[in-house]
Amino acid sequence: MDLVWKIAFSQIKGLKIEQARQLIARLGSEEAFFTASENALKALCCMRNDVFEASSRCKLLENARREAEFIIRKGVVPIYFTDGDYPWRLAECADAPLMLYAVGQRGISWNKVISIVGTRNATAYGAGFVKKLVQELASMVDGLVVVSGLAYGIDIIAHRAALEAGVPTVAVLAHGLNTIYPSAHRSTAVEIAKGGGMLVSEYMSDAVVHKGNFLTRNRIVAGLCDCTLVAESAEKGGALVTAHLANCYNREVFALPGRVSDKYSVGCNRLISSNEAVLVNSAEDILQCMNWSERQAGCSQPQLPLAVMTPEQENVAEYLSAMPDGASLNQICASLGMPVHAVSAIMFDMECNGVVTALPGSRYALL
């Protein structure tokens, strides 16, 4: 029940971390907020708020119970702002979320963290620079973590470069963990979770994909990191929003310069000319500016521990064990008498846990 109280408390609209700490200090616990009378809350907090109404708090608890069931069923890791492994850099940000929902490696070493963002219309110039930069940083510093947003363009290039270099990468999603958007990046999302990285979101599982969420989540991309690199950006775009937020959080911002005639270098050039970003040509520029020490030889990256399978996953695994060439999603549904949406969710979880692998034609096989 403790998890339900925390989920519900974290969903109080407009509640910031510092306000949450003060409220808990006055009440004694999250549970007390939901069990106290409306008049008691108004008197204790010396204010009026619609959320104090019993109906509002009941609705928060109802939603939280459903989310707790989803978390337990899917093996999602809830990270509350009072937990010891809540990212400490993010906790310094006034508008950080009270709760994060994660899939993957919870115990990431938030040692040297860089967010890499940019246009969804990445050019060969920007893509090549990001790949080379990540590879160089991975070979030069210990404890590197690459953060981005799993979007098309620079985001997915940064994630894949980190995976190729063998360093953890964190994808900050703009929706709940019951889906992956864009769906074309599902396989990369699975690799991230399996490869010592993390998929993380502030949104509950029933949150739909909404345009406004993408800008809102940028504060997490910026807040998790020591520094942010804008690889390419047009005159306007989400990457520039992330850069602005990083500056507001007193984090270092870097930008890749480009020709004045290049559409997707206009934003970066402007950041540099307005002294909102440091011009970067190589990994050495970042190491020098951030005062990061050279990576020690022989360091290995953390790996995601194996997860315990649910009864439904065990049934799927048992069925696939008799299918050496794999089976289609429809075959699995028909054989086990389960709906497509349920089996799709199960297969995604099993991919993340390294139990099955996806084959062409929506087929799956045991690893």
Which tokens hold the place of 37? 């009378």
Q: Which class is 104-290 in CATH?
A: alpha beta
* Whether 199 contacts 102, CB under 8 Å: yes
Alpha-carbon torsion (219, 165, 150, 76), positive or negative: negative
Token pair in block for residue 36: 């106290």
Q: Domain-by-domain residue ranges, the chain?
A: 2-74, 104-290, 311-366
Each residue's pLDDT tens digit, 210-230: 888 998 999 999 999 999 999
Per-residue model confidence as pLDDT tens digits over 49-75 = 777 888 888 999 999 999 999 999 988
pLDDT of residue 296: 59
Give the model's pLDDT for residue 102: 95
Looking at residue 288, its pLDDT comes to: 94
Q: Which option is the CATH number for 311-366: 1.10.645.10, 3.40.120.10, 1.10.10.10, 1.10.1740.10?
A: 1.10.10.10
The CA distance from 265 to 363, in Å, is 41
The answer to whether 104-290 and 311-366 have equal CATH topology is no
For residue 47, the model assigns a pLDDT of 56
28-49 burial by CB neighbour count: b if 16+ within 10 A, else e?
eebbbbbebeeeebeeebeeee
H/E stretch holding 144 reads: strand 144-148
Q: Quote the pLDDT of residue 294.
A: 76
User: Residue 149: which residues within 8 A CB-CB, separation 6 or more?
Assistant: 117, 155, 171, 172, 173, 174, 214, 217, 218, 221, 238
**Spans in the chain with pLDDT lower than 50:** 299-306
